[in-house]
Amino acid sequence: MEILIVEDERDIAEIIQECLEAEGFSCRVCYDGHSALELFAEHQPDLIILDIRLPGIDGLEVCTQIRQHASGICSLTESISSRQKPVANEPYILMLTSRGEEIDRIIGLSTGADDYYVKPFSPRELVARVRALLRRRLREGDRLQLIRTKSFTIDLEQHCIRRHVDTESAKQLELSSSEFKLMTLFVKHPGRVWEREQLIEKLWGDDFFGEERVIDTHVARLRRKIEPHPNKPKFIKTVVGVGYKFEDS
């Protein structure tokens, strides 16, 4: 598990880093909001410990930008967009502040923070809060509702798939139930080569009766809906003599 620590008071950042690394976590540290967005874009940590008061871009704006980008509402700051990786999983965000008023807590959580901790704090309790948030990620891993690649977002709760036309817009795809299942399976396992028999087993299990080549028909239909040029597929590649794989480079 990787943690990004964003704290402008360097002595506090050092204490947090030492405590977490002593517990076996991998940590990166930065001291301002702009650097936080850059490191998030480059490394996509599992959890961010984020101070509200930061030079440049404050912690509330950092939190807002990360959540909006992950939801497909807008891109991150233009200066880092060219290096942006697709967001596979949203990080948990634990906000730190020296202010304890209720209104600050409400504002912090309304921007998308998962937890809120007022300084001064106990390093031991901070570690416990981090562990609790990361345990939540492990519990929710199999129930992840949004799956993202560079070009697609799959919303499992709404049962829809959107293809990102550009950085500002996305197009919802009209897919059958089988096509939705097939696309979700591909996106969950980028680069994996699937044999036709394996795809049939995943899609229909013991209820399937017929020829393996029926999967070719489903792949062809799916390609017509997701590929810019179905005859020269960019996303669903044929592996000759084996089956298919999904790529979104």
Residues 49 and 89 in one domain: yes
Residues 77 and 183 in one domain: no
Residues 193 and 96 in one domain: no
Residues 202 and 137 in one domain: no
Residues 222 and 198 in one domain: yes
CATH number, position 134: 3.40.50.2300
How many Cβ atoms from other residues are within 10 Å of residue 246's Cβ?
23
Residues 129 and 154 in one domain: no
d(CA 98, CA 115): 15
Residues 119 and 168 in one domain: no
From 3, 4, 5, 9, select the one nearest 98 (Cα to Cα).
9
Assigned token pair, 209: 């009766």
Cis peptide before 123 (omega within 30 of 0): no
Owning domain of residue 224: 147-246
Contact 161, 175 (CB under 8 A): yes
Res 99: pLDDT: 65
Domain boundary among 141, 171, 192: 141
Contact 129, 94 (CB under 8 A): yes
From 10, 139, 31, 221, select the one nearest 236 (Cα to Cα).
221
CATH number, position 239: 1.10.10.10
Res 79: pLDDT: 41
The whole-number mean pLDDT for each consecutive block of 10 residues of the chain, a chain of 249 residues, reads 92 94 92 94 89 90 82 50 51 82 61 81 89 71 68 85 76 90 90 90 76 89 94 94 89
Give the global pTM: 0.54
For the CA atoms of 191, 43, 148, 227, what is the dihedral angle to 10 degrees?
-50
Res 73: pLDDT: 47
Instruction: Work out how many domains the chain is built from and give that number.
Output: 2
Residues 93 and 133 in one domain: yes
Residues 50 and 78 in one domain: yes
Residues 89 and 63 in one domain: yes
Residues 126 and 230 in one domain: no
Residues 127 and 110 in one domain: yes
